[in-house]
Amino acid sequence: MEPADGKRAVLVVEDEKNIRDLVCLHLQVEGLDCVPVGDGKAALDEAGRRRFDAMVLDLMLPGLDGLSVCRAVRRGTLNQDVPILMLTARREEADKVLGLESGADDYLAKPFGVRELVARVRALLRRGARRAAAAPDGQRPLTYRHIRVDPARRRVRVDDHDVDLTTQEFNLLYVLLSHPGIVFSRDALLARTWKENTFVTTRSVDTLVKRVRRKVERDPGSPEVILTVWGAGYKAADV
Ligand code: CA
């Protein structure tokens, strides 16, 4: 869904006109197609209409603030994986954490130098390109009941919380959730979960399943996502 002229597009959401103009001017100099908007509502309208290659998003906006915009964009379909650079006037570390928890990829405190901003946007664009390359068909983000899995970002959301999974935990969860109802033997899960040859046994799969259940099940004591199939292995419950 590249624009006709092949330029990469950046959505710039900033209510202060001077900053918005300055940011756009410099991104355009970089050869980017810049779409400026002044509030969160307009941002969501644009984000619902077309795909962007990156987004520069001010935290403090009138009406819908940057965090809400960020979360809404991540829940949407067209730009759920767009790299987002969050701008904020506040320097507190808490803002950084908030920004990243909301799904922003990077963070820049005002006042910032324009060169710094351009460098960060370029880095995001490179990351976005890698992300697209790393997510061929079959590695698309998937939603399974209350769980959302994004393989390109290795991100897992359970209800509205990001959950940290190890590589093995992630692999196991992704294999099962992308094939609901299909039973995987412990050996099959072993092969798909531990990519490199290590000293693991099928017993390790049971331990791993327990750990994943603790992280993604609403009640790990009576799992509804990863089911044990006695004498066979495990499966994700049919949806
Ligand atoms: Ca602002």
Pairing of strands 147-150, 155-158: antiparallel
89 C-alpha to ligand 1 centroid (Å): 8
> Which residue, 79, 232, 220, 194, is CA-closest to 141?
79
| pLDDT score of 137 more than 90 | no
The pLDDT of 127-131, averaged and rounded, is 68
Total Cβ atoms within 10 A of residue 27 = 24
Q: Which of the residue ranges 115-119, 134-138, 150-154 has the most confident prediction, judged by mean pLDDT?
A: 115-119
pLDDT digits (tens, 9 = 90+) for 90-105: 665 545 545 555 677 7
Give the residue-averaged pLDDT of 182-188.
84
How many angstroms does the Cα of residue 15 sit away from the middle of ligand 1?
Answer: 5
226 and 212 in contact (C-beta within 8 Å)?
A: yes
Which whole number is the average pLDDT over 129-157?
Answer: 76
Separation of CA 91 and ligand 1 centre (Å) = 14
Q: Which range has the top average pLDDT, 13-17, 138-142, 160-164?
A: 13-17
Specify the pLDDT at position 168: 86
Q: Tokens standing for 147? A: 């769980």
Question: Which band of pLDDT confidence, cut at 50, 70 and 90, is reported for residue 26?
Answer: very high
Distance of CA 203 to the CA centre of its chain: 32
The CA 25 to ligand 1 mean position distance, Å, reads: 18
Instruction: Report how far ligand 1's centroid is from the alpha carbon of 66 (Å).
Output: 9
Give the residue from 62, 19, 18 showing the smallest Cα distance to 43: 62
The neighbourhood of ligand 1, an ion, using CB within 5 A, equals: 15, 58, 60
Q: How far is the CA of 67 from the centre of ligand 1 (A)?
A: 12
pLDDT at 236: 93
Q: What is the separation, in whole angstroms, between the first and last Cα of the chain? A: 31
Query: In the chain, pLDDT over 70 holds for what percent of residues?
Result: 85
Query: What's the pLDDT score for residue 136?
Result: 47
Q: Is the pLDDT of residue 177 over 80?
A: yes
Rounded to 10°, the helix 17-29/114-134 angle is: 60
Q: What are phi and psi of 161, to 5 degrees?
A: -115, 140
Q: Which residue has the higher pLDDT, 105 or 118?
A: 118
Tell how far the Cα of 58 is from the centroid of ligand 1, in angstroms. 6
Question: Scanning the structure block, which residue is given the tokens 């799992």?
Answer: 223
Supply the pLDDT for residue 225.
96
**What pTM was computed for the model?**
0.57
Task: Tell how far the Cα of 160 is from the centroid of ligand 1, in angstroms.
Answer: 26
Q: What is the pLDDT of residue 133?
A: 54
Mean pLDDT of 148-164: 89
Please tell me the predicted confidence (pLDDT) of residue 193: 81
Strands 33-37 and 9-13, bridge-based pairing: parallel
